[in-house]
Amino acid sequence: MEFRAITDGDGGGSPMGACLSGGVSVAAVDVAGLSGDGLRGRLREIGRAESKLGAMKSQVLAELSRRENAVAAERVAREELQASRRGAQRDVEAAERLTVLSETSEALSSGEIPVGHAQLIARAASEGPIDQSFLVDAAKRQGYDQFAKTLRTHQQEQSDDDGQSIYDRQRKNRTGRAFSSRETGMYLLSGEFDPITGAKIDTVLAAKEKELWNQEDPRDRRTPQQRMADAIAELILEPEKGKAQGTALMVVADYDAVNQELVNARLADGTPIPMCELVRLACDAEILPGVYRAATQEMNLGRRRRTASEAQRAALIYRDRECIGCGASANRSFAHHVQFWRHGGPTDFGNLVLVCNKCHHSIHDDNYQVAHDPDAKRWKTHPPPDPFPDTGIDTTRPLQRNPLLRN
Protein backbone atom coordinates (compact mmCIF):
# COMPACT_ATOMS: atom_id res chain seq x y z
CA MET A 1 0.00 0.00 0.00
CA GLU A 2 1.35 3.41 -0.95
CA PHE A 3 0.23 7.03 -0.89
CA ARG A 4 1.43 8.99 -3.91
CA ALA A 5 0.80 12.55 -5.11
CA ILE A 6 2.18 13.59 -8.50
CA THR A 7 2.32 17.08 -10.01
CA ASP A 8 2.69 18.10 -13.64
CA GLY A 9 6.27 18.50 -14.70
CA ASP A 10 5.79 22.12 -15.79
CA GLY A 11 4.38 23.08 -12.40
CA GLY A 12 1.50 25.07 -13.90
CA GLY A 13 3.64 28.14 -14.44
CA SER A 14 4.31 28.71 -10.72
CA PRO A 15 7.81 29.64 -9.47
CA MET A 16 7.57 26.58 -7.28
CA GLY A 17 6.65 24.22 -10.08
CA ALA A 18 10.15 22.97 -10.87
CA CYS A 19 10.74 22.11 -7.22
CA LEU A 20 7.55 20.08 -7.05
CA SER A 21 8.17 17.97 -10.12
CA GLY A 22 8.23 14.29 -9.23
CA GLY A 23 5.56 14.39 -6.54
CA VAL A 24 5.41 12.90 -3.06
CA SER A 25 5.46 9.22 -2.19
CA VAL A 26 5.11 7.62 1.26
CA ALA A 27 4.79 3.86 1.51
CA ALA A 28 2.48 2.43 4.17
CA VAL A 29 4.14 0.15 6.72
CA ASP A 30 3.14 -1.80 9.82
CA VAL A 31 4.24 0.64 12.52
CA ALA A 32 3.74 -1.99 15.24
CA GLY A 33 6.85 -3.73 13.96
CA LEU A 34 9.08 -0.65 14.09
CA SER A 35 11.63 0.05 16.82
CA GLY A 36 11.78 3.40 18.59
CA ASP A 37 14.31 4.69 16.07
CA GLY A 38 12.15 3.30 13.30
CA LEU A 39 9.11 5.22 14.52
CA ARG A 40 11.17 8.39 14.73
CA GLY A 41 12.38 7.88 11.18
CA ARG A 42 8.83 7.24 10.04
CA LEU A 43 7.64 10.54 11.52
CA ARG A 44 10.57 12.32 9.90
CA GLU A 45 9.59 10.88 6.52
CA ILE A 46 5.95 11.86 7.00
CA GLY A 47 6.98 15.37 8.06
CA ARG A 48 8.96 15.89 4.86
CA ALA A 49 5.99 14.63 2.83
CA GLU A 50 3.65 17.02 4.63
CA SER A 51 5.98 19.90 3.76
CA LYS A 52 5.99 18.95 0.09
CA LEU A 53 2.20 18.60 0.05
CA GLY A 54 1.93 21.96 1.80
CA ALA A 55 4.02 23.49 -0.98
CA MET A 56 1.72 21.92 -3.58
CA LYS A 57 -1.37 23.29 -1.82
CA SER A 58 0.23 26.71 -1.63
CA GLN A 59 0.99 26.60 -5.35
CA VAL A 60 -2.63 25.79 -6.22
CA LEU A 61 -4.11 28.44 -3.91
CA ALA A 62 -1.75 31.10 -5.22
CA GLU A 63 -2.72 30.26 -8.81
CA LEU A 64 -6.44 30.35 -7.94
CA SER A 65 -5.95 33.74 -6.33
CA ARG A 66 -3.98 35.01 -9.37
CA ARG A 67 -6.65 33.90 -11.82
CA GLU A 68 -9.59 35.32 -9.87
CA ASN A 69 -8.99 36.81 -6.43
CA ALA A 70 -8.23 35.87 -2.82
CA VAL A 71 -11.90 35.58 -1.88
CA ALA A 72 -12.51 33.03 -4.63
CA ALA A 73 -9.44 31.04 -3.59
CA GLU A 74 -10.65 31.00 0.02
CA ARG A 75 -14.08 29.78 -1.07
CA VAL A 76 -12.58 26.89 -3.05
CA ALA A 77 -10.34 25.98 -0.10
CA ARG A 78 -13.36 25.84 2.23
CA GLU A 79 -15.32 23.72 -0.23
CA GLU A 80 -12.65 21.29 -1.39
CA LEU A 81 -10.53 21.05 1.79
CA GLN A 82 -13.44 21.46 4.24
CA ALA A 83 -11.36 24.18 5.89
CA SER A 84 -12.64 26.77 8.33
CA ARG A 85 -13.10 30.32 7.11
CA ARG A 86 -10.13 31.55 9.17
CA GLY A 87 -7.97 28.59 8.13
CA ALA A 88 -8.71 29.12 4.44
CA GLN A 89 -7.95 32.83 4.72
CA ARG A 90 -4.65 32.13 6.48
CA ASP A 91 -3.60 29.54 3.86
CA VAL A 92 -4.40 31.84 0.92
CA GLU A 93 -2.56 34.77 2.49
CA ALA A 94 0.50 32.59 3.08
CA ALA A 95 0.31 31.18 -0.46
CA GLU A 96 0.27 34.66 -2.02
CA ARG A 97 3.26 35.75 0.06
CA LEU A 98 5.28 32.62 -0.70
CA THR A 99 5.20 33.28 -4.44
CA VAL A 100 7.80 36.02 -3.95
CA LEU A 101 9.85 34.16 -1.33
CA SER A 102 11.85 31.81 -3.54
CA GLU A 103 14.23 30.48 -0.86
CA THR A 104 11.40 29.71 1.55
CA SER A 105 9.31 28.11 -1.21
CA GLU A 106 12.20 25.91 -2.33
CA ALA A 107 12.97 24.77 1.22
CA LEU A 108 9.31 23.91 1.76
CA SER A 109 9.05 22.09 -1.58
CA SER A 110 12.10 19.96 -0.79
CA GLY A 111 10.75 19.07 2.66
CA GLU A 112 13.58 20.86 4.48
CA ILE A 113 11.29 23.10 6.54
CA PRO A 114 7.77 22.48 7.92
CA VAL A 115 4.66 24.27 6.67
CA GLY A 116 4.23 26.18 9.93
CA HIS A 117 7.76 27.60 9.70
CA ALA A 118 7.18 28.71 6.11
CA GLN A 119 3.96 30.45 7.10
CA LEU A 120 5.76 32.31 9.89
CA ILE A 121 8.40 33.54 7.43
CA ALA A 122 5.70 34.57 4.95
CA ARG A 123 3.84 36.57 7.59
CA ALA A 124 7.04 38.24 8.82
CA ALA A 125 7.93 39.25 5.26
CA SER A 126 4.58 41.03 4.96
CA GLU A 127 5.24 42.99 8.15
CA GLY A 128 8.69 44.39 7.43
CA PRO A 129 12.22 43.68 6.19
CA ILE A 130 13.71 40.23 6.85
CA ASP A 131 16.85 38.29 5.95
CA GLN A 132 15.20 35.35 4.20
CA SER A 133 18.39 33.26 4.00
CA PHE A 134 18.98 33.60 7.75
CA LEU A 135 15.42 32.61 8.61
CA VAL A 136 15.32 29.63 6.25
CA ASP A 137 18.57 28.33 7.73
CA ALA A 138 17.17 28.71 11.26
CA ALA A 139 13.91 27.03 10.22
CA LYS A 140 15.83 23.94 9.11
CA ARG A 141 17.40 23.50 12.56
CA GLN A 142 14.86 24.75 15.08
CA GLY A 143 11.56 23.51 16.42
CA TYR A 144 8.45 25.65 15.98
CA ASP A 145 8.50 27.39 19.37
CA GLN A 146 12.21 28.19 19.24
CA PHE A 147 11.96 29.37 15.64
CA ALA A 148 9.02 31.65 16.47
CA LYS A 149 11.19 33.34 19.12
CA THR A 150 14.14 33.57 16.72
CA LEU A 151 11.88 35.20 14.13
CA ARG A 152 10.50 37.77 16.60
CA THR A 153 14.01 38.74 17.68
CA HIS A 154 15.10 38.93 14.02
CA GLN A 155 12.20 41.24 13.17
CA GLN A 156 13.23 43.53 16.02
CA GLU A 157 16.84 43.60 14.82
CA GLN A 158 15.84 44.28 11.20
CA SER A 159 13.46 47.05 12.18
CA ASP A 160 14.70 50.60 11.60
CA ASP A 161 12.67 51.96 14.54
CA ASP A 162 13.74 49.55 17.32
CA GLY A 163 10.62 47.47 16.77
CA GLN A 164 8.23 50.28 17.70
CA SER A 165 6.15 49.80 14.54
CA ILE A 166 5.89 46.07 15.30
CA TYR A 167 4.70 46.80 18.83
CA ASP A 168 2.24 49.46 17.60
CA ARG A 169 0.78 46.97 15.13
CA GLN A 170 0.39 44.38 17.89
CA ARG A 171 -1.40 46.96 20.05
CA LYS A 172 -3.70 47.83 17.16
CA ASN A 173 -4.50 44.16 16.50
CA ARG A 174 -5.63 43.40 20.06
CA THR A 175 -8.93 41.56 20.20
CA GLY A 176 -11.31 40.22 22.82
CA ARG A 177 -14.37 38.00 22.67
CA ALA A 178 -16.98 37.03 25.24
CA PHE A 179 -19.94 34.83 24.31
CA SER A 180 -22.04 31.80 25.23
CA SER A 181 -21.32 28.63 23.30
CA ARG A 182 -24.37 27.30 21.47
CA GLU A 183 -22.80 23.84 21.53
CA THR A 184 -22.03 23.47 25.25
CA GLY A 185 -23.88 26.32 26.93
CA MET A 186 -20.58 27.37 28.54
CA TYR A 187 -19.49 31.01 28.67
CA LEU A 188 -16.28 31.66 26.72
CA LEU A 189 -13.64 34.38 27.07
CA SER A 190 -10.72 34.86 24.70
CA GLY A 191 -8.33 37.65 23.85
CA GLU A 192 -5.14 38.61 22.07
CA PHE A 193 -2.85 41.25 23.54
CA ASP A 194 0.47 42.90 22.83
CA PRO A 195 3.45 41.22 24.56
CA ILE A 196 3.75 43.73 27.42
CA THR A 197 0.05 43.68 28.29
CA GLY A 198 0.10 39.90 27.97
CA ALA A 199 3.09 39.62 30.30
CA LYS A 200 1.31 41.75 32.91
CA ILE A 201 -1.84 39.62 32.66
CA ASP A 202 0.16 36.40 32.85
CA THR A 203 2.06 37.61 35.93
CA VAL A 204 -1.12 38.53 37.81
CA LEU A 205 -2.94 35.35 36.75
CA ALA A 206 -0.06 33.09 37.74
CA ALA A 207 0.17 34.72 41.18
CA LYS A 208 -3.59 34.30 41.72
CA GLU A 209 -3.38 30.66 40.62
CA LYS A 210 -0.60 30.07 43.14
CA GLU A 211 -2.71 31.71 45.84
CA LEU A 212 -5.62 29.40 45.03
CA TRP A 213 -3.31 26.36 44.95
CA ASN A 214 -2.08 27.17 48.46
CA GLN A 215 -5.70 27.30 49.67
CA GLU A 216 -6.65 23.90 48.22
CA ASP A 217 -7.02 20.59 50.00
CA PRO A 218 -3.97 18.56 48.81
CA ARG A 219 -6.24 15.50 48.55
CA ASP A 220 -8.73 17.24 46.27
CA ARG A 221 -6.94 19.62 43.95
CA ARG A 222 -8.38 21.39 40.93
CA THR A 223 -6.95 20.74 37.49
CA PRO A 224 -4.67 23.51 36.15
CA GLN A 225 -7.41 24.52 33.71
CA GLN A 226 -10.02 24.73 36.47
CA ARG A 227 -7.65 26.75 38.64
CA MET A 228 -6.98 29.24 35.85
CA ALA A 229 -10.72 29.61 35.19
CA ASP A 230 -11.34 30.25 38.90
CA ALA A 231 -8.46 32.76 39.01
CA ILE A 232 -9.92 34.73 36.08
CA ALA A 233 -13.40 34.66 37.62
CA GLU A 234 -12.13 35.83 41.02
CA LEU A 235 -10.07 38.67 39.54
CA ILE A 236 -13.10 39.90 37.57
CA LEU A 237 -15.95 39.21 39.99
CA GLU A 238 -14.18 39.85 43.29
CA PRO A 239 -11.83 42.79 42.57
CA GLU A 240 -11.93 43.78 46.23
CA LYS A 241 -9.64 40.83 46.95
CA GLY A 242 -7.05 42.47 44.76
CA LYS A 243 -4.24 40.77 42.90
CA ALA A 244 -2.14 38.23 44.74
CA GLN A 245 0.87 39.34 46.71
CA GLY A 246 4.31 39.18 45.17
CA THR A 247 3.35 40.02 41.58
CA ALA A 248 6.00 41.93 39.66
CA LEU A 249 6.69 42.25 35.95
CA MET A 250 10.28 41.40 35.11
CA VAL A 251 11.85 43.34 32.25
CA VAL A 252 15.48 42.83 31.26
CA ALA A 253 17.92 45.15 29.49
CA ASP A 254 21.67 45.12 28.93
CA TYR A 255 23.91 48.05 29.80
CA ASP A 256 26.20 49.37 27.09
CA ALA A 257 29.15 50.63 29.13
CA VAL A 258 30.77 52.37 26.14
CA ASN A 259 27.74 54.50 25.28
CA GLN A 260 26.41 54.45 28.85
CA GLU A 261 22.89 53.44 27.89
CA LEU A 262 20.47 50.54 28.22
CA VAL A 263 20.05 48.36 25.12
CA ASN A 264 18.34 45.11 24.08
CA ALA A 265 15.21 45.52 26.20
CA ARG A 266 13.14 42.36 26.52
CA LEU A 267 10.59 40.57 28.65
CA ALA A 268 11.67 37.74 30.93
CA ASP A 269 10.94 35.11 28.25
CA GLY A 270 13.22 36.90 25.76
CA THR A 271 10.48 38.68 23.79
CA PRO A 272 12.06 41.93 22.53
CA ILE A 273 10.35 45.25 23.29
CA PRO A 274 11.15 48.79 22.09
CA MET A 275 13.30 50.92 24.40
CA CYS A 276 10.55 53.57 24.45
CA GLU A 277 8.23 51.03 26.06
CA LEU A 278 10.90 50.21 28.65
CA VAL A 279 11.01 53.90 29.54
CA ARG A 280 7.23 53.97 29.92
CA LEU A 281 7.36 50.92 32.18
CA ALA A 282 10.07 52.56 34.29
CA CYS A 283 7.74 55.53 34.81
CA ASP A 284 4.99 53.26 36.14
CA ALA A 285 4.68 53.78 39.89
CA GLU A 286 4.22 50.03 40.40
CA ILE A 287 7.37 49.07 38.52
CA LEU A 288 10.49 49.02 40.64
CA PRO A 289 13.77 48.97 38.70
CA GLY A 290 16.37 46.52 39.93
CA VAL A 291 19.99 45.86 39.07
CA TYR A 292 21.17 42.28 39.34
CA ARG A 293 24.76 41.72 40.37
CA ALA A 294 25.78 38.20 41.32
CA ALA A 295 28.45 39.53 43.67
CA THR A 296 25.89 41.41 45.78
CA GLN A 297 23.32 38.61 46.00
CA GLU A 298 23.56 35.42 48.01
CA MET A 299 23.10 32.83 45.26
CA ASN A 300 24.36 29.80 47.23
CA LEU A 301 22.26 28.85 50.25
CA GLY A 302 23.60 25.32 50.65
CA ARG A 303 21.48 23.18 52.96
CA ARG A 304 20.24 26.10 55.06
CA ARG A 305 16.90 26.20 53.24
CA ARG A 306 15.11 24.03 50.73
CA THR A 307 13.19 26.62 48.70
CA ALA A 308 14.85 29.13 46.41
CA SER A 309 15.09 32.74 47.56
CA GLU A 310 13.50 35.62 45.66
CA ALA A 311 16.95 36.65 44.38
CA GLN A 312 17.64 33.11 43.15
CA ARG A 313 14.24 32.90 41.47
CA ALA A 314 14.78 36.22 39.68
CA ALA A 315 18.18 35.00 38.49
CA LEU A 316 16.63 31.70 37.31
CA ILE A 317 13.98 33.54 35.30
CA TYR A 318 16.72 35.66 33.72
CA ARG A 319 18.81 32.59 32.86
CA ASP A 320 16.22 29.92 31.94
CA ARG A 321 13.40 32.27 30.77
CA GLU A 322 10.84 29.43 30.92
CA CYS A 323 10.36 25.80 31.93
CA ILE A 324 13.44 24.00 30.62
CA GLY A 325 11.32 20.99 29.67
CA CYS A 326 8.28 22.23 27.76
CA GLY A 327 8.71 26.00 27.60
CA ALA A 328 5.83 26.83 29.96
CA SER A 329 5.76 30.33 31.42
CA ALA A 330 8.36 31.08 34.09
CA ASN A 331 5.50 32.46 36.18
CA ARG A 332 4.12 28.92 36.41
CA SER A 333 7.45 27.19 37.02
CA PHE A 334 9.26 26.08 40.16
CA ALA A 335 12.90 25.98 41.21
CA HIS A 336 13.99 22.33 40.95
CA HIS A 337 17.18 20.86 42.44
CA VAL A 338 19.21 19.12 39.70
CA GLN A 339 20.81 16.99 42.41
CA PHE A 340 17.72 16.17 44.45
CA TRP A 341 17.42 17.81 47.87
CA ARG A 342 16.72 14.43 49.46
CA HIS A 343 20.00 13.17 47.98
CA GLY A 344 21.99 15.98 49.55
CA GLY A 345 21.64 18.55 46.78
CA PRO A 346 22.24 22.14 47.88
CA THR A 347 19.97 25.11 47.24
CA ASP A 348 22.66 26.78 45.16
CA PHE A 349 22.00 28.71 41.96
CA GLY A 350 24.11 26.28 39.93
CA ASN A 351 22.00 23.36 41.19
CA LEU A 352 18.61 24.93 40.36
CA VAL A 353 16.53 25.02 37.17
CA LEU A 354 13.02 26.21 36.29
CA VAL A 355 10.43 23.49 35.60
CA CYS A 356 6.63 23.55 35.46
CA ASN A 357 4.53 21.21 37.60
CA LYS A 358 4.07 18.65 34.80
CA CYS A 359 7.77 18.47 33.96
CA HIS A 360 8.59 18.36 37.69
CA HIS A 361 6.50 15.19 37.98
CA SER A 362 8.15 13.77 34.85
CA ILE A 363 11.55 14.18 36.54
CA HIS A 364 10.56 12.69 39.89
CA ASP A 365 8.05 10.05 38.74
CA ASP A 366 9.13 9.08 35.21
CA ASN A 367 12.92 9.31 35.53
CA TYR A 368 13.37 12.21 33.11
CA GLN A 369 16.92 13.52 33.28
CA VAL A 370 18.14 17.13 33.60
CA ALA A 371 21.36 17.94 31.76
CA HIS A 372 23.19 21.05 30.60
CA ASP A 373 23.55 21.48 26.85
CA PRO A 374 26.91 23.22 26.28
CA ASP A 375 26.08 24.09 22.67
CA ALA A 376 22.76 25.75 23.48
CA LYS A 377 24.19 27.01 26.79
CA ARG A 378 21.05 26.06 28.65
CA TRP A 379 19.56 23.26 30.74
CA LYS A 380 17.19 20.74 29.18
CA THR A 381 15.20 17.68 30.21
CA HIS A 382 15.55 14.35 28.44
CA PRO A 383 13.20 11.33 28.52
CA PRO A 384 14.45 8.12 30.15
CA PRO A 385 16.04 5.42 28.00
CA ASP A 386 13.70 3.17 26.04
CA PRO A 387 12.58 0.46 28.52
CA PHE A 388 12.46 -2.02 25.64
CA PRO A 389 15.42 -1.26 23.34
CA ASP A 390 16.34 -3.62 20.52
CA THR A 391 19.20 -4.99 22.64
CA GLY A 392 17.04 -5.98 25.61
CA ILE A 393 15.27 -4.54 28.65
CA ASP A 394 16.64 -1.36 30.17
CA THR A 395 16.23 -1.44 33.94
CA THR A 396 16.81 2.28 34.50
CA ARG A 397 13.07 2.95 34.35
CA PRO A 398 11.39 2.65 37.79
CA LEU A 399 9.54 -0.64 38.01
CA GLN A 400 6.54 0.83 39.79
CA ARG A 401 5.89 3.14 36.84
CA ASN A 402 5.96 0.39 34.22
CA PRO A 403 3.07 -2.11 34.46
CA LEU A 404 4.74 -4.52 32.02
CA LEU A 405 7.75 -4.84 34.32
CA ARG A 406 5.87 -4.70 37.61
CA ASN A 407 5.16 -8.42 37.73
The pLDDT value recorded for residue 318 is 86
The pLDDT value recorded for residue 244 is 65
pLDDT classification of 372: cutoffs 50, 70, 90: very high
The pLDDT value recorded for residue 46 is 94
3-state secondary structure string, the chain?
A: CEEEECCCCCHHHCCCHHHHCCCEEEECCCHHHCCHHHHHHHHHHHHHHHHHHHHHHHHHHHHHHHHCCHHHHHHHHHHHHCCCHHHHHHHHHHHHHHCCCHHHHHHHHCCCCCHHHHHHHHHHHHHCCCCHHHHHHHHHHCCHHHHHHHHHHHHHHHCCCCCHHHHHHHHHCCEEEEEECCCCCCEEEEEECCHHHHHHHHHHHHHHHHHHHHHCCCCCCCCHHHHHHHHHHHHHHCHHHCCCCCCCCCEEEEEECCCCEEEEEEECCCCECCHHHHHHHHHCCCCCCCCCCHHHCCCECCCCCCCCCHHHHHHHHHHHCECCCCCCEHHHEEEEECCCHHHCCCCEHHHEEEEEHHHHHHHHHCCCEEEEECCCCEEEEECCCCCCCCCCCCCCCCHHHCHHHHC
pLDDT classification of 247: cutoffs 50, 70, 90: low
The pLDDT value recorded for residue 9 is 42
Residue 398 has pLDDT above 60, yes or no: no
pLDDT classification of 303: cutoffs 50, 70, 90: confident
Residue 78 has pLDDT above 90, yes or no: yes
Whole-prediction pTM: 0.72
pLDDT classification of 387: cutoffs 50, 70, 90: low
The pLDDT value recorded for residue 15 is 41
pLDDT classification of 24: cutoffs 50, 70, 90: confident
